[in-house]
Amino acid sequence: MIELEQVSFRYQNEASHVLENINLTIEHGEWVAIVGRNGSGKSTLAKLLNGLCLATSGVVRVNQTVLTDESKHQARHYIGMVFQNPENQFVGTTVADDVAFGLENLAVPRETMIKRIDQSLEQVDMTIYKDHEPSRLSGGQKQRVALASVLAMQPEVIVLDEATSMLDPIGKKQVLSLIQELQEQLGVTVIMVTHDLNEAALADRVITLDEGTVWFDGKPRELLEKGDQLHEVGLEPPFVTKVYQQLTRQSIDITQEPLHYEELVDELWRLYLKT
């Protein structure tokens, strides 16, 4: 679906590269989390995937088409992107208009359009704000609308750049389970930039960037097993990892490193029942 070959990127008029020699293949239906400290190049990488930034050297391929100034518009039919800052994303005068905008560009018939607007606003719990002005919404509400706009377009790939950072815990959970549903049931490819390793642990694969290069690319469990090394790349081990580390330090034996709260609780029960 997405291939990066020896990709480097430098912003115009800047001396140094922000991304250097990135090689990546992301398959159809994968859920990939991208993590790394501030400034490590996550958003730039996300922008390379839909042609908002074009590689300075190397090749980005989406559905076998090399992304260029000419082909990037085509790529946007497959790839929906929710940015870090939803303020920059609004074009409509009402929430519904805003969601409609992308669909108009895709020349979706009016009736389908109305259905998709209603459905996507429902999915992000924003139906009652349909006729509101986007600029007057709260930060989290704006993120929900930005997400609805992308969902309505039913893209094959969804790129979320810290798209849940302003959501309350319940909203975050809702969005994550919605994403999971889209991935599992419709085979949507999900690429999610996040600072939350708990969130990243939900993905099939985590890519960790450090100073514009890939520091780690693999299963979330393998990343968490790095324990204190995570600090080197500006990541905070999640709570379950810390509990696991404390237990092992005290020679309390847990069969495998837990990835989520549920797994930790299972392990703790097992220990408790043994005593």
Binding site for ligand ATP (CB under 6 A): 11, 14, 18, 36, 38-44, 84
Check residue 43 for interaction with Mg ion (CB under 5 A): yes
Q: How far is the CB of 185 from Mg ion (least distance, A)?
A: 29
Of 144, 125, 124, the closest CA to residue 134 belongs to: 144
Q: How far is the CB of 95 from ligand ATP (least distance, A)?
A: 26
The whole-angstrom separation of Cα 100 and Cα 87 is 17
Q: Are strands 19-26 and 57-62 parallel, antiparallel or unpaired?
A: unpaired
Q: Tell me the torsion sign for CA atoms 259, 260, 266, 270.
A: positive
Among Mg ion, ligand ATP, none, residue 41 binds (CB under 5-8 Å by kind): ligand ATP
Cβ atoms of 19 and 212 within 8 Å: the answer is yes
Among Mg ion, ligand ATP, none, residue 258 binds (CB under 5-8 Å by kind): none
For Mg ion, what does the binding mask look like between residues 101 and 120, x meaning CB under 5 A? --------------------
Please give the order of strands across the beta sheet that includes 65-66: 19-26, 2-9, 57-62, 65-66
Query: Residue 34 or 124: which CB sits closer to Mg ion?
Result: 34
Q: How far is the CB of 196 from ligand ATP (least distance, A)?
A: 12
Q: How far is the CB of 208 from ligand ATP (least distance, A)?
A: 11
Tell me the sheet residues that pair with 3.
Answer: 25, 61
In single-letter form, the type of residue at position 142 comes to K
Query: Residue 42 or 172: which CB sits closer to ligand ATP?
Result: 42
| Residues that bind Mg ion in the complex, under the rule CB under 5 A | 42-43
